[in-house]
C-alpha cells in the first residue's frame, strides 16, 4: 500500500477470499457507494461468494488522532473502524489497494489488522487552471487520484495573468473580459466555472475526503482582472489576458480607494462558495515599479506611515484578511508575504528554493507554514532530463526526500503539498504524466515519513495499473 500504514499485524498466513460485497452498519450512503464502486472496479463480477463488511464507529476516546482508523480482515469478514468520516474514507482506500494487489496476484486478502492515521494534517495538491483550463471531468479525476493517495487539500489556482476562471455575479466582467485570451495564432482560448459547477466540484471533493482551497492571486498576477476592470490599475492601459508566461509589471493599485471595496465584495462572494476555513490570496511575484511611480500608492504609504512598498502589500493583505476573518476564513499567502510586516494569523506557503530560510522567518514571526519548496515539490518540473516540463528536475527520489522535520520550527509546519503549474501542460494526459508517480512519493512522506525509499519503490511497483479504470 501507499502510503504505508503506521502499523500492520498479520494473523498467520491465512486469507479471506473476496466475493460479492455485503455492507452493514454504514453511517453514510456516500461511503458505501465509494466502497462498492471501487470493489466492482477491481473484482470480477463473476464472483459467486459473498464478503461481509461492517462499519464500526469508534468512540471519541478510543482514538488518539481524529482520523485514526482500523481495518480488520478475518475469516468471517471485514470490519472498518474509524472516529471520523475521513477516517472511514482512508480505511476504504487502503482496503481497495489491498484488494487490487490480491486480484493481481490471484490470491485472497491477508488476515490481520491495520491501525493507521496521518502524520500531517495538510497533505495537498495544487492545480493551476489559469494557464490552461481543464474542466469538470479532469478535475474530478484529479480529485479521485488524490483520494486514493489520501491527499486531503486541493489548492485550486483560479486566477492569474492568463485567465480568470470563476464566475462572479457581483462583478460579471471578470468572466466576460478576463476568462478568454487571444492566442498568437488568432484563436480564442479560455473558460470558467459557473458557481453551480464550483458547488458541484466542492461537493464531489467532500465525498472523497478532500477540502477545496481556492486561490485568487493578488496584487500581482492580475492582468486578467485588470482586463475586466482596468481602473483598478495604477495607470491607464489596454489590458488583455496574457497568452505568454512570466511576471508582468501592472498590478492592482493599493492606493485606489475603490480597490478595497471591490476586493472585499469579490472575495466574500467567492469565499461563500467554499466551506473550507482557508482562502489563498497569492502575494507572490508582485513587482512594485508601478507602486513606486503611482501618486495614489505613495500617498497611501505616507498616510499609513509605512516604510516602503513591501509594507504596503502587507497592509493590503492584512486589510483583506480582517474582512475574511469575519467569515471564518484564515488567509494563506506565498512566502513573499514574509518580506513585509506579517501578522501571525496568516499562514505562509513556502515555495522558493529549499524553503529553510522562509521557515526560519515563519518561526521567528510565529506563523504556521506549509511546505512546497520548488526544488522538491514543483511537479511542472521535469521528472528526469528527457522528460516533459519546465525549469529544473525533481525526480521521484527527490520528492521522497521531503521531510518537514528537517525544517526550522517544524512544530509550526502544518504539512506540505505539490504544485502543478500548467504553462507547459495542455491536457489531462500531460497532467497525469507530470502527477504520477511523484504524487505517490508526496503522499507517503506526508502520511508516514518513517519509511525507506527502496521499500516505497517496491510497493509502488505492485500498484501498477491501479489507476487505469479509476
Q: What are the catalytic residues?
A: 160, 221, 285
Q: Are 263 and 218 in contact (CB under 8 A)?
A: yes
Question: What CA–CA distance (Å, rounded) separates 342 from 319?
Answer: 12
- Cis preceding-peptide flag for 437 (omega within 30 of 0): yes
Beta strands 69-74; 381-382: pairing state: unpaired
Q: How far is CA 116 from CA 342, 356, 433, 448, in A?
A: 37, 30, 29, 9
Instruction: Give me the residue label for grid cell 485588470.
Output: 226
- Joined grid coordinates for residue 350: 513556502
- Encode 151-188 in three state secondary structure: CCEEEEECEECCEECECCCCCCHHHHHHCEEECCCCCE
Residue 22 β-bridge partners: 52
Instruction: Give me the residue label for grid cell 502543478.
Output: 420
Instruction: Give me the residue label for grid cell 481543464.
Output: 134
Q: How far is CA 299 from CA 129, 295, 339, in A?
A: 36, 6, 21
- 436 burial level (CB within 10 Å; 0-12, 13-18, 19+): middle
Residue 189: what are its φ and ψ, rounded to 5°?
-130, 140
Amino acid at each position: 500500500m501507499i502510503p504505508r500504514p503506521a502499523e500492520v499485524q498479520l494473523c498467520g498466513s491465512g486469507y479471506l477470499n473476496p466475493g460479492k460485497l455485503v455492507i452493514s452498519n454504514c453511517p453514510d450512503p456516500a461511503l458505501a457507494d465509494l466502497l462498492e464502486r471501487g470493489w466492482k472496479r477491481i473484482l470480477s463480477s463473476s464472483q459467486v461468494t459473498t464478503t461481509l463488511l461492517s462499519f464500526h464507529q469508534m468512540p471519541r476516546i478510543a482514538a488518539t488522532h481524529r482520523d485514526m482508523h482500523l481495518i480488520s480482515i478475518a475469516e468471517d469478514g471485514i470490519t472498518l473502524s474509524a472516529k471520523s468520516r475521513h477516517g472511514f474514507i482512508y480505511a476504504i482506500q487502503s482496503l481497495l489497494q489491498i484488494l487490487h494487489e490480491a486480484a493481481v496476484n490471484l490470491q485472497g486478502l491477508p488476515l490481520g489488522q491495520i491501525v493507521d492515521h496521518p502524520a500531517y494534517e495538510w497533505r495537498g495538491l495544487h492545480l493551476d487552471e489559469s494557464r490552461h483550463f481543464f474542466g469538470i471531468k479532469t478535475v474530478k479525476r484529479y480529485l479521485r487520484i488524490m483520494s486514493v493517495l489520501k491527499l486531503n487539500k486541493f489548492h485550486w489556482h483560479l486566477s492569474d495573468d492568463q485567465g480568470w476562471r470563476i464566475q462572479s455575479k457581483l462583478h460579471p466582467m471578470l468572466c466576460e473580459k478576463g476568462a478568454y485570451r487571444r492566442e498568437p495564432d488568432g484563436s480564442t482560448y479560455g473558460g470558467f466555472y459557473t458557481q453551480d459547477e464550483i458547488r458541484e466540484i466542492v461537493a464531489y471533493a467532500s465525498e472523497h475526503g478532500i477540502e477545496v482551497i481556492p486561490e485568487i492571486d493578488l496584487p500581482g498576477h492580475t492582468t486578467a482582472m485588470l482586463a475586466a476592470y482596468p481602473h483598478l490599475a495604477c495607470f491607464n492601459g489596454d489590458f488583455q489576458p496574457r497568452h505568454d508566461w512570466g511576471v508582468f509589471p501592472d498590478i492592482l493599485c493599493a492606493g485606489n480607494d475603490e480597490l478595497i471595496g471591490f476586493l472585499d465584495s469579490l472575495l466574500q462572494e467567492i469565499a461563500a462558495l467554499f466551506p473550507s476555513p482557508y482562502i489563498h490570496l497569492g502575494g507572490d511575484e508582485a513587482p512594485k515599479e508601478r507602486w513606486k511611480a503611482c501618486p495614489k500608492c505613495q500617498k497611501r504609504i505616507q498616510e499609513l506611515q509605512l516604510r516602503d512598498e513591501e509594507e504596503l502589500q502587507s497592509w493590503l493583505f492584512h486589510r483583506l484578511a480582517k474582512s475574511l476573518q469575519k467569515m471564518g476564513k484564515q488567509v494563506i499567502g506565498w512566502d513573499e508575504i514574509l518580506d513585509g510586516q506579517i501578522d501571525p494569523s496568516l499562514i505562509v506557503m513556502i515555495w522558493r528554493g529549499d524553503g529553510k530560510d522562509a521557515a526560519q522567518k515563519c518561526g521567528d514571526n510565529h506563523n504556521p507554514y506549509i511546505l512546497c519548496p520548488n526544488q522538491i515539490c514543483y511537479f511542472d518540473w521535469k521528472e528526469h532530463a528527457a522528460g516533459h516540463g519546465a525549469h529544473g528536475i525533481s525526480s521521484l527520489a527527490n520528492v521522497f526526500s521531503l521531510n518537514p522535520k528537517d525544517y526550522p520550527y517544524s512544530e509550526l509546519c502544518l504539512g506540505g503539498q505539490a504544485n502543478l503549474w500548467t504553462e507547459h501542460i495542455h491536457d489531462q494526459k500531460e497532467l497525469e504524466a507530470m502527477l504520477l508517480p511523484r504524487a505517490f512519493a508526496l503522499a507517503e512522506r506526508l502520511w508516514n515519513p518513517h519509511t525507506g525509499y527502496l521499500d516505497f519503490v517496491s510497493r509502488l511497483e505492485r500498484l501498477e495499473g491501479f489507476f487505469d479504470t479509476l
